[in-house]
A and B are shown apart, each in its own frame.
Chain A
Amino acid sequence: MTAPVFLLLAVLVVAAALTVVAHPSPVYSACALVVTLFLLSVFFVALDAQLVAVLQVIVYAGAIVVLFLFVIMLLNLTQPESRPTAGVPVVAVAVGGGIGIAALVAAALRRVPPAGAPALPEGFGDTAALARRLFTAYVLPFELTSVLLLVAIVGAVGLASRKG
């Protein structure tokens, strides 16, 4: 990926993100979210994280956002909202906070010496490499995460099922 391509994609990502946050209709926000996720997946590929990129598309864009759309349809929230955001003072402070975050990161980056791009080992970023790392050093979190998923399933079913 060359610099101009990066910049183009970056602009698109920001535009999509703004759409997610600003559009009155929840459905449009969900679609914009899908676009953002896809674009980020492209970035992942550029950063030699092929498995993660694929997982991003399958899990995030393919499952989570679909779940969001299910709920939107279920609760019939497709109509655009009349007053989508909070009052002016809150918006002002929040935007200010957001700019603050960006400024902070900029200031922090100024102090960090630019990291290099070392030569990578063979097969960096593919399934085997990820699996190797996952099932040796991070096997305990892996197991715990599986328990977490079980608990989440049980919880979600318990919460969402109709009572009575």
Chain B
Amino acid sequence: MPPGAPLTWYLGLSAVVFAIGTVGVLVRRNIIVIFMAIELMLNAVNLTFVAFARSLGSMDGQVIVFFVMTVAAAEAAVGLAIILALFRNRETTNADELVTLRW
């Protein structure tokens, strides 16, 4: 199936989604939402890989996406477990209040 759009369009879309995710990571206070923004960034990268795989005619790009998804799953599991432990200790999910390593 032809891709329907030039490669550059896909890359541009991926960049935009990646930028949105970055801003989300840096700006939101709720830890869970920060995590979701990280997932957004990962997906943007996945799109890039798949687009290049198609453009270069190589399956390697899709294999990498496979790995990204697996690692993202593991990361989400562990990260949420950490958040749970943190919530139990501090009773907060506000990133601004988790600042004990200050000067």
The total of Cβ contacts below 8 Å across the A-B interface reads: 241
User: Helix, strand, loop or mixed for chain A's interface?
Assistant: helix
- Beyond A13-B17, A160-B81, whether A124 also contacts B37 by CB under 8 A is no
Cα(A14)–Cα(B9), bound, Å:
13
B1, B17, B19, B60: the one contacting A99 at CB < 8 Å is B19
- A9-23 interface (Cβ within 8 A of B): 10, 13-14, 17-18, 20-21
Question: In the complex, are the beta carbons of B27 and A85 less than 8 A apart?
Answer: yes
Cα(A29)–Cα(B31), bound, Å:
12
User: Helix, strand, loop or mixed for chain B's interface?
Assistant: helix
- Beyond A99-B19, A109-B8, whether A36 also contacts B27 by CB under 8 A is no
B82's nearest neighbour on chain A, judged by CB, is A159
| Residues in chain A near residue B19, CB distance under 8 A | 98-99, 101-102
Annotate A71-103 by CB proximity to B: 1 below 8 A, 0 otherwise: 110110100010111100011001101110110
Query: Chain A residues in contact with chain B, CB under 8 A?
Result: 1-3, 5-6, 10, 13-14, 17-18, 20-21, 26, 29-30, 33, 36-37, 40, 43-44, 46-49, 51-52, 55-56, 59-60, 63-65, 67-68, 71-72, 74-75, 77, 81, 83-86, 90-91, 94-95, 97-99, 101-102, 105-106, 109, 112, 114-121, 124-125, 129-130, 132-134, 137-138, 141, 145, 148-149, 151-153, 155-160
Query: Chain B residues in contact with chain A, CB under 8 A?
Result: 1-13, 15-24, 26-30, 32-33, 35-37, 39-40, 43, 46-47, 50-57, 59-60, 62-63, 65-67, 69-78, 80-85, 87, 93, 96
